[in-house]
Amino acid sequence: MDSSLPNQPKEILWQMLQNALDAFVVIDTASTVIAWTRGAETLFGWTEREAVGQTVGCLIIPPDLRQAHTQGMRRYLETGQTALLGKRIEIHGQHKDKRIFPVELSITPITIDGRQYFSAALRDITERQQKEHALREADRQKDEFLAMLAHELRNPLAPISAAAELLRMARLDEERVKRSSEVIARQAQHMVQLIDDLLDVSRVTRGLIQIEKSRLALAPLLSDAIEQVRQLIEQREHRLQVHIPPRPLHVQGNHTRLVQVFANLLANAARYTPNGGEISLEVKVDGSQAEVRVTDNGAGISADLLPRIFDLFVQGARRPDRTEGGLGLGLALVKKLVELHGGSVRGESEGTDRGSTFTVRLPLVQSAPAPAQSQHRADGTAVERERPCVLIVDDNLDAAQMLAMLLESQGYTVLTATSASAALDLAVLERPGVLLLDIGLPGMDGYALAREIRQRSELSGAVLIAVTGYGRPNDVARAREAGFDHHLLKPVAIPALLSLLESVHGRRDTDGPAPSG
C-alpha cells in the first residue's frame, strides 16, 4: 500500500480546518480577517466572502468587548505580553443577527513569510453552560434539601425524646402518660411520612412503583384524604368548603395512592394559607374526566416558580423557622402518581399572596356494583361477626407486644411468637385466622415460614400478612410467591392495618378465606 503523502500537505491541512466542527478565523495584526472557515460561517452567520477583509471586531466581537480587544492587540505588539495566547477562555461572541452567545476561544500566534498572524479557534458553548448551570442548580437544591431534611428529622426527635424520658421516670399520672404517648405516636408518624415520601419519590422517579388498580368511588376517597389533614386544617382555623356532585363518580385506581395525592394537595394548601384562610375542594365532570380542584387564598406562587412547581426539591421562599412547606417532594410525587393513574395535574396562581389552584384530572369509569349485603338472622337482626384470632410473629418482642396490645384494644384475640418454630407450633394448635409475619426472622425467615404454613392443610384458610421493612417491588413479588396475601411496610399504619383486618373479617364471614392479593 502506498503510504506516501500527497504533494500538497498545506491543502490537506486547510481542508481539515474547513471541515472541522469548530470555527477557525485568521486575522493579521490590524485585526483584519485573512481566513474564514465554513465552521465560522455556521457559528457567526457571515459568509467567507462577507468576512474576509473586514475588521474582526465589527463581525464577531460584542460592542462592550471591542475596546478591550484593541488594547490587548496593541499591548501584545508593543511588549509581547498578553493573558490570552495559549489558553482556552470563555467569552461572548456576536452573531450576524446581533445575538450574543457564549463561546470558547483559543488564540495562537503564527508567522508566515516573516509576517505575524493570529489563528483563533472558537466553539459555541451555550449548551454546555446551560448544563453546567443545571448541575449547579441541582447541587444547590441538593444541599438545601439535605439541610431541610436534617431539620425536619430533628424536629420530631425532640418531643419524642422528651416524652420518652417522662415515661421512663414512671411517676406520671394517667393523663400525662396518655399525652406523652400521643406525642410519641404523632411525631413518629411524622417521621414515617417523611421517610415514606423519600422512598416513594425514589421509586416513582425510577419507575419502580406498580399501581394495583380497582374501581373506586371518588367521594369516599376524597373524604379519607380530608380526614388525613383535618387536624392541620383545624389547627390553623381554615374554612374548608367541599363541593362534590350528588351522583356517584368512580375512577380506576389505587385507593392508598389517590388518597395520598389529594391529602398532599390539601396539606399543601393548609401549610401555605395563613390562619383563618379559606380552602375549597371541588369536583366537576368534564366529559369522560373527573376534575378535582383544590383552591386556597394563601401565599400563591410566583411567576418564575410556577413552571417548576412539580420538579423535585422545588419550593417557594420559606421563613427561617420553616413553619411552612416540607421537603419539596410532595408536588413531584403528586404529578408522578396522577400520571400513573392515566391522569394529569396542573398548578395555577395569579402570583405571590394571591392563592393557588391545583387541578387533578382522572378518567371516569362506570359506576361500581352494589356492595354485598350484611348477613342477618331469620328475624332480620344483624349477625354479630366474630373477629378472627391474630398471630403476630416478630423477633422484636417490644414491637410484637405493643401491636398485640393495640389489636386487643380493638377486640381481637391476639397471640405472639418471636421465632418461626414457636409460630408454627402456635398456629397448628390455635388455628389463627390471620398471621402477621415479620420477614427478617432469625433462622427460618418470614418467606420460608409462609411457605411452610401454606403446606399445612389445617392452616389453609389463614390469611398471611407480611409486616416488614422491605418494600421494593421485588420484595412484594417475593412475598406473594411465598404465599402472603398482603404486604404492609413497617412501621405499620394502624388505620390501614385495622381496615385490612376488618375487610378480612367481613370476607371470612361471607366468602370464606380472603383471596390472595
Q: Which three cell numbers stand for residue 310?
A: 412539580
Please determine, for residue 19, whether its predicted confidence score (pLDDT) is greater than 90. Answer: no
What average pLDDT does the chain have? 82
How far, in Å, CA of 216 to CA of 435, rounded?
A: 28
pLDDT at 510: 43
Q: Which of 20-29, 107-116, 497-506 has the lowest mean pLDDT?
A: 497-506
Q: Which of 2-11, 255-264, 369-378 has the lowest mean pLDDT?
A: 369-378
Please determine, for residue 284, whether its predicted confidence score (pLDDT) is greater than 60. Answer: yes
Can you tell me the mean pLDDT for 87-94? 91
Q: Which fold has domain 129-205?
A: Helix Hairpins (1.10.287)
User: pLDDT digit string (tens) for 311-328?
Assistant: 766 655 544 334 444 556
| Residue 209 banded pLDDT, cuts 50, 70, 90 | low
Q: How many Cβ atoms from other residues are within 10 Å of residue 105's Cβ? A: 19
User: pLDDT digit string (tens) for 179-197?
Assistant: 888 888 878 877 777 777 7
The CA-to-CA distance between both ends of the chain, in Å, stands at 72
How far, in Å, CA of 186 to CA of 192, rounded?
A: 10
Q: Which of 83-87, 150-154, 432-436, 490-494 has the lowest mean pLDDT?
A: 150-154
Helix (H, G, I), strand (E, B) or coil at 17: helix
How far is residue 97 from each of residues 84, 100, 129, 444, measured CA to CA in Å? 27, 9, 21, 75
Please determine, for residue 1, whether its predicted confidence score (pLDDT) is greater than 70. Answer: no
| Residue 512 banded pLDDT, cuts 50, 70, 90 | very low
How far, in Å, CA of 365 to CA of 80, rounded?
A: 80
3-state secondary structure 316-334: CCCCCCCCCCCCCCHHHHH
Q: How many Cβ atoms from other residues are within 10 Å of residue 325's Cβ? A: 18
pLDDT at 148: 65
Can you tell me the mean pLDDT for 193-214? 72
pLDDT at 208: 63
For the chain, what percent of residues have pLDDT higher than 90?
35
Name the more confident of 213 and 376: 213
How far, in Å, CA of 360 to CA of 292, rounded?
A: 5
How far, in Å, CA of 487 to CA of 499, rounded?
A: 14
Asked if residue 104 lies in contact with residue 122, where contact means CB atoms within 8 angstroms, the answer is yes
Contacts of 297 (CB under 8 A, 6+ apart): 273, 277, 278, 355
Q: Which of 36-50, 63-77, 79-93, 199-213 has the lowest mean pLDDT?
A: 199-213
How far, in Å, CA of 233 to CA of 223, rounded?
A: 14
Q: Which CATH superfamily is domain 390-510 in?
A: Response regulator (3.40.50.2300)
Asked if residue 54 lies in contact with residue 48, where contact means CB atoms within 8 angstroms, the answer is no
pTM over 0.75: no
- In the chain, what's the furthest Cα-to-Cα distance? 119
How far is residue 298 from each of residues 66, 103, 324, 353, measured CA to CA in Å? 51, 44, 11, 6
Rg, C-alpha atoms of the chain: 35
How far is residue 99 from each of residues 41, 59, 66, measured CA to CA in Å? 15, 12, 16
Domain ranges of the chain: 9-124, 129-205, 214-365, 390-510
Name the more confident of 181 and 204: 181
Class of domain 9-124 (CATH, top level):
alpha beta
Asked if residue 94 lies in contact with residue 69, where contact means CB atoms within 8 angstroms, the answer is no
Q: What are phi and psi of 429, to 5 degrees?
A: -75, -45
Please determine, for residue 347, whether its predicted confidence score (pLDDT) is greater than 70. Answer: yes
Contacts of 223 (CB under 8 A, 6+ apart): none
User: pLDDT digit string (tens) for 238-249?
Assistant: 999 999 887 888
Catalogue the long-range contacts made by 374-382 (C-beta closer than 8 Å, 24 or more residues apart).
Answer: 375/509, 375/510
Measured in residues, the chain has a length of 517
Residue 365 class from Cβ within 10 Å (0-12 exposed, 13-18 middle, 19+ buried)?
middle
Grid cell 403476630 in the structure block, residue: 392
| Residue 129 banded pLDDT, cuts 50, 70, 90 | very high
Can you tell me the mean pLDDT for 441-448? 89
Q: What are phi and psi of 133, to 5 degrees?
A: -65, -40
pLDDT at 386: 61
CA 112, 115, 120, 121: dihedral to nearest 10 degrees? 0
Task: State the pairing for strand pair 115-124/214-217.
Answer: unpaired
Please determine, for residue 484, whether its predicted confidence score (pLDDT) is greater than 80. Answer: yes
How far, in Å, CA of 347 to CA of 357, rounded?
A: 6
Helix (H, G, I), strand (E, B) or coil at 431: coil
Q: Say yes or no: domain 214-365 is CATH 1.25.40.10.
A: no
Give the number of C-alpha atoms closer than 13 A to the C-alpha of residue 98, restricted to the C-beta side: 1
DSSP 8-class letter at 65: H
